Each structure stands twice: as structure tokens, then as C-alpha cells.
Amino acid sequence: MIRKETEKKISKGQAKAAALISAIICITASALAFTGHIDGWLGAGIVVVAFPVFVLSLFTALRESTKDGDYPFVGY
């Protein structure tokens, strides 16, 4: 079966930026909720939305490149 790569390329740089931004949002919302500057439910809501984005973008940033490697051709 021929594998066809059809992913819309998200560069590692973009994924890292998304991970960083979502992490900052999560930490900020948690801290503001903890210190009472915003309601607890609001802080939790922001974290609930931003944390999964952080997780997925972090793992996307860590992923292996999908470009084929330079495999030695042994011939047949």
C-alpha cells in the first residue's frame, strides 16, 4: 500500500510557538484564578481550552520529520 502524506504541514517552529503561547495562557489563567483576580470557573475554563492545545502542539513540535530519510539503496 502506498502511503500518501497529505498532512497540512505545520512546521516545528509553528508548533513550538503554539505550545509556548498556550502554556503562557494556562499559567496566567491559573495564577489569576488562584490569586482571585478572576473567578475560578473562568480560570478553569481558559485552562480547559488552552491546555489540550498545549499538549497537542508540544507533541507536534517533538514529532519526527515526515521527509523520507536518506536511506542507502542496496539494489535488487
Partner 1 sequence: MILLYIIFAIIVGLLFHGIHRKVIARIQTRPGPPIWQEFLHVMKFSFKQTWIPKTASKVLFVAIVPAVIAIWAGALYVLLTGGSLLVIFGVYLLHKITEHGLGLSSGSPYGKFGAIRSVLSAASEIPLIASIAGIYFVTGSLMISDIVAYQADHGILLITALPIALAMYVIILSKVPYSPFGIIEAKEIVSGNKTEHFGAFRAGLEVGFALKTFVLLAVFVTLFIGAMPFWMLLVASLILLLTMSFICALTPMLSPYDAVTIQIGVIIIVIIYMAFIAFAGGMP
List of residues contacting partner 1 (CB under 8 A): 4-8, 26-27, 29-31, 33-34, 40-41, 43-44, 47-49, 51-53, 55-56, 58-60, 62-66
- Name the residue nearer to partner 1 (CB basis): 17 or 40: 40
Provide the minimum distance between the beta carbon of 50 and partner 1 in the complex, in angstroms, as a whole number.
Answer: 9
53 touches 22 (CB < 8 A): yes
- Give backbone dihedrals phi and psi of 3, rounded to 5 degrees, phi first: -85, 125
Q: How far is the CB of 16 from partner 1 (least distance, A)?
A: 13
Q: Which of 53, 64, 48, 75 is nearest to 40 (CA)?
A: 48
